[in-house]
Each structure stands twice: as structure tokens, then as C-alpha cells.
Amino acid sequence: MPLYSGDYIIPAEANVGRRVGDPTVRTSDSAAFTAETVIDSVTVPVVSGRTYKIRWTVAWGSTVAGDSVFSRIRVDDLAGAQLQIMRVSVVATGGAGTRWDGTVEGEYTAVSTGNKTFVGTGARATGTGNISAKAASDFPIRLYVECVAVG
């Protein structure tokens, strides 16, 4: 991006605590699954040496009470490095609005400058039901990235 006379230049430290790129916002349920599946992804610009926090707020549902789900954040794609994992128990099933929430956060330090993709995945950990990520316009799932250190 070119700079022009009169442009404000913001020091890198001013970017700490700010979101990077545009978040992914899901307002509808995912398809049902049992094996690990990419639910959401976000691609953002990163700068070598900076550390980023990836946060995924997600809610799960199952067709069988008592199942549990692994929520993961991975780098690049389904086969990418796992940054964080959390297990969520789906205590009960039910009609509309029955969701079991979990927020997963992981950190990533960029090794090069460019675009980087992060994915939120789900996998049935225990049980026999079909799992889905649950979302609605008044209860969205969000996947976003913040700069937390400039290195």
C-alpha cells in the first residue's frame, strides 16, 4: 500500500489487541458429521515474528445426549498443525436453541509475511450421534484473529 503526503503512520505496537482481517461469521447450522470436519475458516494477512490469537466461538448439538465433541483450531487446513483443542460435552438433545457452547483460543507466531489460513474443526470424541455446529442470526459462530504481540 503506497503512502502519500499527509497519511498517518501507525506504529506496529498500535496494532496489538486489534483484529486482523475480516472475521468469519456463521449464522446457520453446519452439516452433520462424525469424523473431523472443517466448519469455518479465515484467511488473514500476517507479519513475520508477530504473534496472533485465533479465537473460535462455537456451539455444538448432537442427535444423541451424552456425546462429546473435539473443537480444534488448526493452521491451513484439516491436516495442518493443531494450535488448540477443547472437548465439549453435549449433555442433552432438544429442539431449537439446544446448544452446548465452547470457545477455543490458540496462538500462532508467523514465520513469514503473507496470508495465513486458520480453520475451526469439529469431531465426535465419544458417543454415537451425529454432530453439528449450531448457529443462528441471533447466536452466530465467529472465527477471528487478533494481533497480540509484535515480536
Check which CATH number belongs to the domain holding 126 and give it: 2.60.120.1340
pLDDT of residue 126: 94
The answer to whether position 3 is within a domain reads no
pLDDT of residue 8: 55
The answer to whether position 5 is within a domain reads no
β-sheet bridge partners, residue 68: 89, 126
Q: How many Cβ atoms sit within 10 Å of the Cβ of residue 91?
A: 12
The answer to whether position 2 is within a domain reads no
The answer to whether position 8 is within a domain reads no
Tell me the helix, strand and coil percentages in the chain, rounded to 5. 5, 55, 40
Give the domain range for residue 63. Answer: 13-149
Where the chain has pLDDT below 50, the residues are 96
pLDDT of residue 101: 82
pLDDT of residue 27: 95
The answer to whether position 65 is within a domain reads yes
The answer to whether position 46 is within a domain reads yes
pLDDT of residue 14: 57
Selection from 37, 40, 55, 59 nearest residue 123 by Cα: 37
Q: Estimate to the nearest angstrom the gap between the alpha carbon of 107 and the chain centroid.
A: 11
* Entry pTM: 0.86
The answer to whether position 1 is within a domain reads no
pLDDT of residue 72: 97
pLDDT of residue 46: 95
pLDDT of residue 2: 63
Domain count, the chain: 1
The answer to whether position 126 is within a domain reads yes
